[in-house]
Amino acid sequence: MAFYEVYSHPALIRYKTSVCTKATLFLVAILCLTYISPLLVAYRSQGFWTKRSTYEEQPVVRYRYEALLVAATSPLGDHVTWSTFPYLNNMLGPNFRIPAVSVREEDQNQDGKLDLLIFKLQLPLRADEQVYSVQLLLTFSYQLHRMSTVVMQTLAYVQHSSSVPGAKLFIGGDLRLQQRAPLAHRGLNNIYNVSVIDGSSPFVSSYDLENIMRSYQSRNLTTVLSCPSPVWTLGRAEGSPFELSAEIRYPLEVISYRPGFWETIKLAWIQYVSVLLIFLWVSERVQRFVFQNQVLTTVPVAVEKLHLS
Ligand SMILES: *[C@@H]1O[C@H](CO)[C@@H](O)[C@H](O)[C@H]1NC(C)=O
Ligand SMILES: *[C@@H]1O[C@H](CO)[C@@H](O)[C@H](O)[C@H]1NC(C)=O
């Protein structure tokens, strides 16, 4: 008659020993090894305490309708200037020139956040003037909300110059966030919620591009206009204005931040436990080998009936 396995259950065997034995010492050692080593492995393999992490967000950007334009009208440094700051305009004298400006901001994907600024400017010129270079400064209000709330005023600066006088300049680019340090994971950051150009100042130095850029660049959080290839078109017809058109996008940003306490702990815990699982498995095998083969003397007590509870 053939036998077949009708049922099986593991038999429990208890190994007993007293406190001051090699077996106890072995047990303590292996427990320490099992639970502490994963910590060392996770720690030494870098990235245990996450100090910097990233998230994606499209900022809320608005053009503040402030602009400052300087155009060189001869190779010798003659220039005409236009700005939205009355104090500056009054100080310019004959260098002041009023262009025709049109500004439009678009929300292309209808998500409630603006995506694009279209800025067009036509600068009238006298017959003896040609445009050799253009410097344009636009200011924006810029907000982030997802982790920490950032409210600030930023700027976009474009400059293009050529040895040949131009008729048109086209600038297409992204307004990118530049961080010198990661953001906090929560809270309000409004230290840069101040005007980049102080339009209420009657001093000409407040409108000096060098001064503006120097103090702007000392900030930890700025935006830059990344415009890899401005297009300078030659051949202006006599008497027609110089045209500048800019399309500035407000793209999705990858923002780096310092994770908070619970996020740091969570990530550390995940790393620890996943290494611990391997150590537990190995430690279980080692203990079974040691006790089953009586490498260390213990008293095995077989439990006849396993109480399934
Ligand atoms: C930022 O500044 C503007 C005025 O320039 C003010 O109305 C606004 O409340 C400020 N926002 C924050 C969050 O400080
Ligand atoms: C700017 O970042 C540096 C570290 O890169 C920090 O020491 C400094 O306090 C930050 N300044 C502000 C105003 O946050």
Q: Is the pTM of this model over 0.75?
A: yes
DSSP state, residue 147: S
pLDDT at 139 over 60: yes
Decide: 22 in ligand 2 pocket, CB within 6 A: no
- Closest-lying ligand 1 atom to the alpha carbon of residue 190: 14
DSSP state, residue 87: H
Poorest-confidence range of 5-9, 70-74, 87-91, 206-210? 5-9
- Closest-lying ligand 2 atom to the alpha carbon of residue 181: 5
pLDDT at 181 over 60: yes
In percent, the amount of the chain with pLDDT more than 90 equals 73
Calculated CA dihedral for residues 25, 31, 32, 36, nearest 10 degrees: 170
163, 75 in Cβ contact below 8 A?
A: yes
135, 169 in Cβ contact below 8 A?
A: no
pLDDT at 302 over 90: no
DSSP state, residue 96: B
Decide: 220 in ligand 2 pocket, CB within 6 A: yes
Q: How far is CA 6 from CA 3, 9, 72, 78, in A?
A: 9, 11, 97, 102
- Closest-lying ligand 2 atom to the alpha carbon of residue 180: 5
Decide: 151 in ligand 1 pocket, CB within 6 A: yes
Tell me what pLDDT residue 309 has.
47
Instruction: Work out the mean pLDDT of the chain and round it to a whole number.
Output: 91
| C-alpha of residue 157 to centroid of ligand 2, in Å | 23
Rounded to an integer, the average pLDDT of 249-278 is 94
How far is Cα 79 from Cα 95, in angstroms, rounded to an integer?
7
Q: How is residue 248 written in tokens? A: 């500035």
Which residues have C-beta within 8 Å of that of residue 132, sequence separation ≥ 6? 72, 73, 74, 75, 161, 162, 163, 165, 166
The ligand that comes nearest to the alpha carbon of residue 190 is: 1
List the domain boundaries for the chain.
11-50+260-305, 53-257
Looking at ligand 2, which residue's alpha carbon is closest to its atom 11? 220
pLDDT at 127 over 50: yes
pLDDT at 307 over 70: no
241, 69 in Cβ contact below 8 A?
A: no
Rounded to an integer, the average pLDDT of 191-211 is 92
Of 62, 145, 151, the residue with max ligand 1 atoms within 8 A of its CB, to mutate for a pocket test, comes to 151
The ligand that comes nearest to the alpha carbon of residue 139 is: 1
Which of 7-11, 253-257, 296-300: highest mean pLDDT? 253-257
pLDDT-derived band at 46, boundaries 50, 70, 90: confident
pLDDT-derived band at 32, boundaries 50, 70, 90: very high
pLDDT at 308 over 70: no
Helix (H, G, I), strand (E, B) or coil at 2: coil
CA of residue 93 relative to chain centroid, distance: 43
Looking at ligand 2, which residue's alpha carbon is closest to its atom 7? 181
Rounded to an integer, the average pLDDT of 169-190 is 94
Closest CA to 246 of 154, 138, 164: 138
More confident residue, 307 or 189: 189
Rounded to an integer, the average pLDDT of 7-21 is 85
pLDDT at 245 over 80: yes
| C-alpha of residue 188 to centroid of ligand 2, in Å | 15
Decide: 193 in ligand 1 pocket, CB within 6 A: yes
